[in-house]
Chain A
Amino acid sequence: MTAFQIFLIAALAAVGVTLVALALRGAIGRVAALLWLAVVSAGIVFAVAPNLTTVIARAIGISRGTDLLLYLLVLVVLYGFLAIYLKLRRVRRELTLLVRELAIREASAGRGEPRGEGEPRGEGAPAGNREPGGGRTT
């Protein structure tokens, strides 16, 4: 066993222990924890027996085990980017709605909400009556 194999196994095992600890504390869901543990376990198996990846790759028509891992990695990374992008879009949208509501509330609070209701609605009183003047509290 090479030094790198030992390092890899230790690192993966550390990730596994962390996952278990997080799951026990309820920080991550059980299903998610089990899925990640499966990935980590597979990693340890492949670290111990690197040729296994080639055996699996050959079975599905890919010549090298490292190629198989590369293709899987590309899929996972692409999916990850898309998922994060969609999440970011949603968060941005929510941020906009929040900032909007704050802006409207701040402006309305400055002059006391009652004035807002049914304001101009086009009846022809002079503008001077409508403008709050010193309405803002500062």
Chain B
Amino acid sequence: MAETAVSIDRSVALGTWVVIPVFNEAVVIARVVRELREVFPNVVCVDDGSGDGSWEAVRAATPHALRHLVNRGQGAALQTGTAYALRRGAERIAHFDADGQHRVEDLARMVRCVADGDCDIALGDRFGGDVTRVPAGRRLLLRCAVAFHRVASGIALNDVHNGLRVLSRPAAERIELTADRMAHASEIIDLIARSGLRVRQVPVTIDYTDYSRAKGQHWTGGFRIMFHYLVGRALG
């Protein structure tokens, strides 16, 4: 990917721990982690019970390799990585997708935003720039999710279910994900809305590759996520 010089203060980079949930991403994970660690040395990979050699790839790629012995879902994996990083003294927690759809330079801008104290949480916003980069079907689905959250969570965001996030340590300590599967992305929005933490949306580019699209959600998945989210809210 881009050989852009990502400029970020060394101590800021070291205080930022990047958490990557990994589920059957053996093909791409090594490259994603390598590029990331050129800028952010502390990368935590949580292998969520993959069966395709992801664990071996992850162990070779980063010293902070964690493994769920049983598949527990992306939300659970993020929370595991976050708990681990917090125990090791992380000052900021970043969420990053394993499939290579995010860009390191985008993450660096978001990290700076949190490190400078402009916000407690930075959320990636794929609609902040060139919207045509987002496939039309995806755009429609996500617009629906955005509208849904405007009502359900009472928070007006441009983009929801974007895997790129940066949280300050206090924010990460307050937000504990209990939705184990994909509904965590909805849960986190609720938690943010209720916490009163300062949120900033940072325009990012999602690189939609055939690989990432194949791994991504089918539109019916949106209903499943909504169902899990609503059940979770109803039952607490």
Residues of A near any B CB (own CB < 8 A): 86, 89, 92-93, 95-96, 99-100, 102-104, 106-108, 111, 116-124, 126-127, 130-133, 135-136
Contacts and interface: CB of A to CB of B under 8 A. Distances in A.
Given A89-B235, A100-B83, A95 B42 contact: no
A131 B63 contact: yes
A104 B91 contact: no
Contacts of B90: 120
B65 interface: yes
A65 to B, nearest CB: 37
Interface residues of B, number: 31
Contacts of A133: 63
B227 to A, nearest CB: 13
B133 interface: no
A135 B42 CA distance: 15
B70 A99 contact: yes
A20 to B, nearest CB: 37
Q: What 7 A-B pairs are tightest by C-beta distance, nearest first?
A: A127-B41, A122-B15, A103-B66, A100-B80, A119-B89, A124-B11, A107-B66
B59 interface: yes
Contacts of B87: 104, 108, 116
Given A95-B70, A99-B68, A123 B11 contact: yes
Contacts of A100: 68, 72, 76, 79-80, 83
18 contacts: A96-B72, A99-B70, A99-B72, A104-B80, A104-B83, A104-B84, A111-B63, A117-B89, A120-B14, A121-B15, A122-B12, A123-B11, A124-B10, A124-B11, A127-B41, A132-B63, A133-B63, A136-B63
B178 interface: yes
Given A100-B80, A103-B67, A120 B42 contact: yes
A10 to B, nearest CB: 42
A128 to B, nearest CB: 9
Contacts of B178: 93
B57 to A, nearest CB: 14
A133 B64 CA distance: 10
B88 A119 contact: yes
Most buried by B among A111, A123, A124: A124
Contacts of B106: none
B88 A103 contact: no
B196 to A, nearest CB: 25
Contacts of A127: 14, 41
Given A96-B72, A104-B87, A135-B63, A130 B41 contact: yes
A121 B89 contact: yes
B180 interface: yes
Nearest to A118: B89
Contacts of A102: 69
Given A99-B76, A124-B10, 12 more contacts: A99-B68, A99-B69, A99-B70, A103-B80, A104-B84, A107-B66, A117-B89, A120-B14, A121-B91, A123-B11, A130-B14, A136-B65
Nearest to A131: B63
